[in-house]
Amino acid sequence: MKGKQTIWDMVRSLAVIGAVVALIYVFVPHDEDADPTRVVDYRVELITARRAAPYPVAAPQGLSADWRATSVTYERRNANSWHLGFLDPDGQYVAVEQSTEEPRKYVPRVTQRAEKTDATRSLGNATWQVWEGAKYNALVREEQGHTTVVTGTAPVDRLAAMVQALEAKKG
């Protein structure tokens, strides 16, 4: 039976392959406790957005390294929408959203259907409207020709910390 394989030969081959795979798995380091958050560098997108947007684009200055940027987009075709997402030091999500879209439609969409309250916060030299929702809270400021929203799963005080760090510039 030279040149013919038996089922027993296949089983032995599979056992050898399985043992090699198991050894590789055991000896290749993997950290189950590692943070899976992918941090992004948003500087290039910020420069681009500040040049292209018809309004001063807001981004934080001077936040501690505990704040990690996780997402960034600027979509000119989508009502000049600027998005910059972060995880705060407690792991809560905080996003800066700006757009020229009609605030009545835009704010509920980016705040996951949060609702306007009667409360306001004076931060810096501006008054921000407090919105609350089941999923996200928000601080909203309607400005000439655009709306700025700081929203996320973080409590309003943490959103206020982001608002105070914002610097709006035109490029």
Where in the chain are the domains?
43-169
pLDDT band at 3, cuts 50/70/90? low
Distances (CA, A) of 19 to 5, 8, 31, 133: 21, 17, 22, 53
**Segment 120-141, tens digit of pLDDT:** 999 988 999 999 999 999 999 9
Percent of the chain with pLDDT over 70: 92
43-169: CATH superfamily: MucB/RseB, C-terminal domain (3.30.200.100)
Of residues 31 and 99, the one with the higher pLDDT is 99
**Segment 38-93, tens digit of pLDDT:** 888 999 999 999 999 999 999 999 999 999 999 999 999 999 999 999 999 999 99
pTM: 0.79
